[in-house]
Chain A
Amino acid sequence: MSDGATSSNPSVGALNARFGDAVQRTEITSAGQDVVFVNPARNTEVLGWLKDEADHRYDLLVDVTAVDYGGGRPIEVVYQLWSIPHKRALRVKCELPLDALRIESVVSLWQTADWLEREVFDLFGVTFTGHPDLRRILMPDDYEEGHPLRKDFPLRGRFSRAEQTRRALTQDPAHYYKPEDFDVGGAPAVPDQVEPTTGSEPA
């Protein structure tokens, strides 16, 4: 199923033509937002092409998140992209079945994916292979109740309130906040040629 022809975003048609069966389907949701479902095994290939191809150049990764629709349906990992030079938005989704919550990390493409993927890992339990530092980011490091944003997670947690309180207070606050935690991994990678992103159309 593909209605890329009706999309106002040329990237949708280009993805269909370039990657064929890696693009599982496309759809347009409310307010004309383009959503492309991509085979999770080829996510870095497709996303890397979207980032580097001159006609598309989605150089800004706005968000990485995930959706659990419950009922045993697959968890969707969502990449929300924005092209600064072309002023275009595109949403790429990868459906992961519950028994194989594993997808390649895109930190090598966008550094901002580092903490975003950690959040998805923390709250949904999706493992990002190749992530440099995949550990919990919001919940405590030794949180043992699971991944809270999954539909099968009870709202009030798995442990009793007394057990949650006891576990919380046996923590050492300094354990959570180490100076190294504020270091996002050395100097940021600056591209060799920094292109102007405003004011002029790309060549």
Chain B
Amino acid sequence: MGLEGSPSSDQGGLIGFAAPTFLTTKIDFIVNWARRNSLWPMPFGTACCAIEMMAAAASNFDLARFGMERMAFSPRQADVLICAGRVPYKLAPVLRRIWDQMPQPKWCISMGACASTGGVFDTYCMVQGIDTIVPVDVYIPGCPPRPEGLIYGLMMIQEKIRGESLSRHGELRAEDPLLVGAPRANAEEVATLSGPFGNSTQQEEAGGILPSERPTMTRPERG
């Protein structure tokens, strides 16, 4: 079908590579309506957050009302990766591979304190926020969040989809294939995202008790 348009037709055409046209906005409306009402989650449950995720999918809360019709236990048939629970470094390559296996368009929810920041597990074995591994669209706070929290997070994804446009697909959904299996954040960003906090500020990598400086994050502005 070639919905992407071609780079040569940079002004208009029916698809409109650079600027939205009447046709693309109508297609956007239909495509986004279809996408946001059939978001199949890929559950990546590793801890107690997964219990709340199961509750959200069960009959009392019934995620299927909003289009998360079934949990897709195959990444190839999933749209949203729900990372529910803490992720140790040993599991990090598994998470990254599942993300890489999911077809575009795909979104990611980081559910709970541990998945988002490492939570109370500021230790040698725990990933300090899965946003160092995969790009995250929605962070859900809580320890664990209630099922309503997860449902709200998924509806935030729906809101995000509502604003997407096919003409900006290449920009919104860009993933460098050469970065498959690579950390999503560079070393400086990882250091910033996983800076010590709480009691951990008294811990140093060398084992001393000097308080460590939290590096400031400099990230290029996104156009």
Contacts and interface: CB of A to CB of B under 8 A. Distances in A.
Interface string B179-216: 00111011110110010100010011111000000000
Contacts of A156: 122-124, 196, 200, 203, 205
Tell me the dominant secondary structure on chain A's binding face: loop
Contact of B207 (A148, A154, A163): A154
A35 B196 CA distance: 40
Contacts of A167: 89
Size class of the contact patch on chain A? 20 to 34
A160 B205 contact: yes
A152 B133 CA distance: 29
A157 B190 CA distance: 15
A157 B205 contact: yes
Contact of A169 (B122, B124, B182): B182
B93 interface: yes
Nearest to B92: A168
Contacts of A160: 187, 190-191, 205
A148 B125 contact: yes
A154 B133 CA distance: 23
Interface string A140-170: 1000010010001111111111111111111
B11 to A, nearest CB: 41
Nearest to B186: A162
Given A156-B123, A162-B190, A170-B181, 19 more contacts: A148-B124, A154-B203, A154-B204, A154-B207, A156-B196, A156-B200, A157-B123, A158-B206, A158-B207, A160-B187, A166-B187, A168-B90, A168-B92, A169-B92, A169-B133, A172-B93, A173-B93, A173-B97, A176-B90
Closest 3 CB pairs of A and B: A157-B124, A162-B187, A168-B89
Interface of A: 139-140, 145, 148, 152-173, 176
Interface of B: 89-90, 92-94, 96-97, 122-125, 127-128, 132-133, 181-183, 185-188, 190-191, 194, 196, 200, 203-207
18 contacts: A139-B125, A148-B125, A152-B207, A154-B207, A155-B123, A155-B200, A157-B123, A157-B124, A158-B205, A158-B206, A160-B190, A162-B188, A164-B89, A166-B183, A166-B187, A169-B92, A169-B93, A171-B93
